[in-house]
Chains A and B, each alone.
Chain A
Amino acid sequence: MLKKLKEMISGADTDYLDIRYEVKKTTTVSIAGPELKNAGSNSTDGFVIRALKYGGFSSVTVTREEDVPEAVKLAVQGASAMAGGGKTVSLADVEPVRDYVEPDLHGDPAEVPMEEKIALLWKYNNIMLEQPGIANTNLSYREVDREKFFVSSEGTAIRERVCTVSIGGEVVACRGDLTQNVRAAVGGANGMAVLMGRDDVFLKKAQIAKDLLDAEPVKGGTYDVVINPSLTGVFIHEAFGHFSEADIIEDNPSLREKMALGEKIGSDVVTIIADTLIPNQVGFYKYDDEGVPVKTTSLMLNGVLKGRLHSRRTASEFGEPVTGHCVAQDHGFEPIVRMGTIYLEKGEKPLEDLMKQMGDGLYLCDGKGGQTSGENFTFGAQYGYQVRNGEIQEMVRDINIMGNLFTTMKNIEAADNTMKLSERGGCGKGQMNIKSGHGGPSILIRSMVVGGV
């Protein structure tokens, strides 16, 4: 296939051209309550072509091989149309690479029969559904196995397989008109083993859903909060991580100034690393979707900005090193700057000390989605507790937090000595990235705006 791709892009009148062909095999099993809703395996494929000409840069996606010549022509036309439009694009230099990468899988999902996958999903589903107070479940097994072939006019030729598995969904508890739901997920990028023996995860979430029926909604206001590792991961991803993606701030002069490397924007306890090479993590890959080897990148050290995530285009624009973070959802999308695995470094104190340090406030647990827009971010917590005098007390529900990146990063006062990384990704920055891993320790943040209900 690599040879065929090379032939497809040879002879085009451009300064640079690349082509990515991908075969994506997806296996999905879905259960809703006591019913199997969906089960099947499917394969799709497609091509993404990118062209650079006269400082213009353009991309085209196509599904059919016979459309590739038209796509190459269209990409060159697009680049030409952009040229002279006020911005001159160049790509940071990289060494051409030739490589073939197979993942290190503990139990290749491709070799596990469908019946076993369905049985495993039923097992976790029923653990939740059989708990008292639980009205329904929506649980899915999802396996995405991508075989990617990348060829550039500079001589890079890479074949890499990335395989992600997860079991996740929600458990719903009901009483009268009140409905409460909690999310549960296990998974990773290292095969089926990570899905085995995880009964405790699903049991705990069902119990939390039931307990939420007796919890009071949190009252809106400004609180000091301790957030657990799951929420720290969501917070670091939403509040800071997107701002460290160069394309987000590229065209915004005031944000580029605020995010200049060397600026101190966080408290001394904040050190943030983007490490997509951590083995077995959901975010793991070796080459991004423009053929650049991914590098572990220190983004913030003791509150001081140290690095940024880049594509070749943004690295050139910023005059900073390439990091290998230009990733596409699949063959239907051009690659854009994305996080792989990002985390906040742990501290030295136990969780109890953070609670005492906080005194009165909220202890918030597990992410329920988040979003960022410029320097503002928001994220939800699945459940939480009132904390009084350093002691965890009654459960609260319906918790959403909003903040400003620059204010909040300076208000992080302490991190505990634990560390946990997420097992399932799902970031929707224009296109879905199921390989966005994140995590960290529990952290104490002062003065967060909590919306309540």
Chain B
Amino acid sequence: MEKLLELAAAKGCRAEVFSTREKSLSMSKVNGSVDDVSASIQSGVSLRILRDGRLGFAYTKNLIDREELVANALASLDAGVEALYDFPDTGSIVFSEDFDESVEEMSFPDMRERIDHIESLYGEMKQGIMEAAAGCGTIEIRIINTSGADLFQKESSVYSIGTMIYPGTSSGLKNVFAGKLDAEVFEPDVKRTVSNFDNSLPEVEIGDSRMKVLFLPDSMYALTWRLGAASSAKAFYEKVSPLLNKKDKQVFSPLLSVVSNPAKRSMGRRKFDDEGVRTGRVPVFENGVFKNSYNNLDYASKMKTAPLGTGFRSGMWGGDKVALSPSPSFSFANFVTGDKSFEEILEMMDRGVIVCGALGAHSGNILNGDLSIGLNPGLYVENGKVAGRVKDAMMAGNIYEMLSKTIAVENSPHYTGSMYENPSILLDDISVVGS
């Protein structure tokens, strides 16, 4: 890595080297039969160079020829991409509190034991299909740059997932359990899922009407994507955000706050972002008021503001960190928890639907905040009880109007297997279109 910096410096460049090494195992079981077994050992290096206000970028998975990587970065630099920033001098950070070396020793028989256990917790299903999955992995990230930063992070993770699929469909209800060393399974969560599944087996035709809608943590990404598109420094710089001129203004319910804080979460904590900037708490929306856009080094320099530690190498669907350039990232932003238990929220629903999965959340005018998703599945609730699942139904609206109708926020966040850790939120008077 250091050699790459030397080669780039010899060409008169400031430089940054980002490298990763990942190892993972996974196994899954469907209706009692082991279905998929796979493993992956991946590594990669990417190089960014700066010279005369220009940026060069190159990457490879196999660092065999350093000269070639530097040559690719120099060729990229010649194209003339403007860059008015320097790499940060973050000093040295070694963060390995979230790493347990025993995870590296885990094997396929360990995964087999876990999927057998999780399957046993769901018992004999009356109808539908049971899927159990387990996996483990480790990831190392190192960033060094010519400004003096030398940053290293190593973490491990273990997960178990139980999913109950409705008969004749591919949609269902699931529980995700994850940890740095072990995925502790909370049996009350499993019992609640089994009960909701059994109660929602009948299909209900709801027609077109307005009703209460409860977003579960699994479907909250449909909202987060839209808020993230609008509050990115990129959208502000390009003057296409619907939040332009709305800083410090109320844009939805005061019950809701959205904060990016990569260092404070149960899984995947980050002390520095993918550009080597220290992470911290970035309140994007506070009590319904738009407070801050989030940025990366590039847009911070363009907007003449400080970088916030929110520059990550990720796309809408994740992606290969090594091959992606850092961009302003909302992937660590979460809704702040409220004051109601899930049971209390359910009791508030005289008539409504629970959005357990969102179909087509990536469709439509995301930047404008328009949301039109299939409820997949959507549980139908009457008088605080799950009474079935809706047939062929969509919910639609503009999220700023929708979130203005928030009436409750759950008091605990839930890890759902993605970066997001959100509570459930209950909205009132939302348009639901059904068959």
Contacts and interface: CB of A to CB of B under 8 A. Distances in A.
Contacts of A248: 170
Interface stretch (A38-46, A98-106, A260-268, A319-327): A38-46
Contacts of A373: 169-171, 357, 359, 374, 376
A332 B40 contact: yes
A81 B433 contact: no
Interface in A126-157: 135-136
B368 A178 contact: yes
Interface in B25-73: 27, 29-35, 37-44, 56-62, 72-73
A341 interface: no
A37 B398 contact: no
A237 to B, nearest CB: 13
A174 B373 CA distance: 24
B81 interface: yes
Given A222-B435, A402-B392, A180 B365 contact: yes
Contacts of A403: 392
B409 interface: no
A429 to B, nearest CB: 11
A363 interface: no
B30 A251 contact: yes
A61 interface: yes
B431 A85 contact: no
Contacts, number: 279
Contacts of A114: 75, 79
B261 to A, nearest CB: 27
Contact of A45 (B61, B76, B360): B61
Interface of B is mostly: mixed
Contacts of A217: 370
Interface residues of A, dominant DSSP: strand
Contacts of A81: 27, 34, 37, 107-109, 111-112
B320 interface: yes
B359 to A, nearest CB: 5
Nearest to B82: A35
A402 B167 CA distance: 19
Nearest to B391: A404
A44 B169 contact: no
Interface stretch (B9-17, B236-244, B276-284, B417-425): B236-244
Contact of B81 (A36, A43, A449): A36
A85 B113 CA distance: 11
A32 B30 CA distance: 45
Interface in B309-359: 317, 320, 323, 325, 357, 359
Instruction: With a 10 A CB-CB cut-off, give which of A398, A402, A452 has the most chain B CB atoms.
Output: A402
B169 A376 contact: yes
A29 interface: yes
Contacts of A26: 323
A252 B360 contact: no
Interface string A170-193: 001010011111000000000000
B129 interface: yes
B364 A368 contact: yes
A252 B165 contact: yes
Nearest to B108: A81
A65 interface: yes
B434 interface: yes
Given A371-B359, A398-B364, A251 B129 contact: yes
A62 B38 CA distance: 12
A378 B27 contact: no
B208 interface: yes
Nearest to A251: B30
B182 to A, nearest CB: 19
A317 B109 CA distance: 25
A56 interface: yes
B396 interface: yes
Most A-side CB within 10 Å, residue of B29, B56, B72, B433? B433
B266 interface: no
A349 interface: no
B367 interface: yes
Contacts of A252: 129, 165, 168, 170
Contact of B33 (A87, A376, A404): A87
Contacts of A71: 39, 41
Contacts of B396: 220, 400, 451-453
Interface of A: 26, 29, 32-33, 35-46, 56-65, 67, 70-71, 74-75, 77-82, 85-87, 114, 118, 135-136, 172, 174, 177-181, 217, 220-222, 248, 251-252, 254-255, 258, 331-332, 334, 368-380, 397-400, 402-404, 407, 428, 432, 449-453
12 contacts: A35-B82, A39-B76, A81-B109, A85-B33, A172-B238, A172-B240, A369-B362, A377-B374, A378-B394, A399-B372, A402-B374, A402-B393
Interface of B: 27, 29-35, 37-44, 56-62, 72-73, 75-76, 79-82, 107-109, 111-112, 129, 165-171, 208, 234, 238-242, 317, 320, 323, 325, 357, 359-365, 367-368, 370-374, 376, 392-398, 431, 433-435
Given A40-B79, A378-B374, 4 more contacts: A40-B57, A179-B367, A251-B33, A402-B392
